[in-house]
């Protein structure tokens, strides 16, 4: 039991370290994974998916980068622990395809519930451009669980829920860390 917990904590640390590693995205290492790319090639090169580079998700991470990280981490989780890795990889890329800047969206439109409504918006956009399987649709629609009440139905869905939370937390933590670093630097300069 203790061993299992230790193993789980180590795996979590590795995943968190990986999610915080910005160089992985900058060097586009996922492109070298041929099996992963075979699952997602049509989405990852699609102009609508590429357009997500213009929107910031958290900190300095764009929606496109966030979705690639969630997709690749979910894919790896499924390959290791079971679940449909292809569906996880594809739904991971599409799970936040809401296509607007959520930081200003509420102010501009009066729509204040982005956290609750964006899975449906992402699903509608994704199904406009791609042929979604029912599992992919379910993952996109329920990836915000437990904020939204209905959980995903499959292991791949839970992999995306987990990867999304981990990546979002890491992106936010990095943002807070760099904010502190800037403040310390500024105080040193001024003081
Ligand atoms: Fe989301
Ligand atoms: Fe997300």
Which tens digits make up the pLDDT trace of 79-117? 999 999 999 999 999 999 999 999 998 888 888 899 999
Confidence of residue 45 (pLDDT cuts 50, 70, 90): very high
Query: The pTM is what?
Result: 0.85
**For residue 188, how far is its CA from the centre of ligand 2 (angstroms)?**
36
Q: At what angle do helices 114-129 and 134-141 cross, to 10 degrees?
A: 160
What percent of the chain lies above the pLDDT cut of 90? 63
**For residue 52, how far is its CA from the centre of ligand 1 (angstroms)?**
13
Report how far apart, in Å, the C-alpha atoms of 40 and of each of 26, 69, 122 are.
Answer: 18, 13, 17
135-143 long-range contacts, Cβ below 8 Å, gap at least 24? 135/84, 135/87, 135/91, 136/87, 136/90, 136/91, 136/94, 139/87, 139/88, 139/91, 139/92, 139/95, 140/91, 140/94, 140/95, 140/97, 143/91, 143/95, 143/119
Confidence of residue 186 (pLDDT cuts 50, 70, 90): low
The residue-averaged pLDDT of 17-21 equals 69
**For residue 144, how far is its CA from the centre of ligand 1 (angstroms)?**
6
Please say whether the beta carbons of 155 and 78 come within 8 A.
yes
pLDDT at 35 over 70: yes
Please say whether the beta carbons of 118 and 191 come within 8 A.
no
Confidence of residue 172 (pLDDT cuts 50, 70, 90): confident
Q: Sign of the C-alpha dihedral, residues 65, 129, 162, 57?
A: positive
Distance CA 152, CA 1 (A): 28
Those residues with Cβ within 8 angstroms of residue 56's Cβ, 6 or more apart along the chain or in another chain: 62, 63, 101, 103
Q: What is the rounded average pLDDT for all residues in the chain?
A: 88
**For residue 189, how far is its CA from the centre of ligand 2 (angstroms)?**
37
Report how far apart, in Å, the C-alpha atoms of 123 and of each of 94, 126, 127 are.
Answer: 8, 5, 6
Confidence of residue 149 (pLDDT cuts 50, 70, 90): very high
**For residue 140, how far is its CA from the centre of ligand 2 (angstroms)?**
10
CATH topology of domain 2-190: Hypothetical protein af1432 (1.10.3210)
pLDDT at 161 over 90: yes
Burial of 85 (0-12, 13-18, 19+ CB in 10 A): buried
Ligand nearest to the CA of 114: 1
Query: What ranges do the domains of the chain cover?
Result: 2-190
Distance CA 140, CA 50 (A): 18
Ligand nearest to the CA of 167: 2
**For residue 5, how far is its CA from the centre of ligand 2 (angstroms)?**
27
């Amino acid at each position: 039991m203790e061993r299992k917990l230790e193993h789980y904590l180590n795996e979590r640390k590795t995943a968190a370290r990986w999610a915080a590693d910005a160089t992985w995205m900058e060097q586009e290492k996922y492109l070298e994974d041929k099996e992963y790319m075979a699952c997602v090639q049509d989405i990852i090169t699609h102009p609508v998916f590429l357009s997500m580079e213009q929107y910031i998700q958290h900190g300095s991470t764009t929606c496109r980068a966030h979705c690639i990280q969630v997709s690749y981490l979910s894919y790896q989780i499924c390959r290791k622990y079971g679940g449909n890795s292809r569906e996880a990889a594809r739904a991971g890329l599409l799970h936040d395809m809401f296509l607007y800047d959520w930081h200003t969206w509420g102010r501009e439109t009066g729509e204040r519930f982005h956290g609750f409504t964006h899975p449906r918006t992402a699903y509608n956009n994704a199904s406009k451009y791609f042929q979604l399987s029912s599992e992919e649709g379910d993952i996109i629609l329920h990836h915000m669980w437990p904020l939204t009440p209905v959980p995903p139905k499959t292991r791949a869905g839970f992999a995306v829920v987990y990867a999304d939370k981990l990546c979002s937390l890491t992106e936010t933590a990095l943002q807070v860390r760099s904010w502190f670093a800037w403040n310390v630097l500024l105080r040193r300069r001024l003081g």
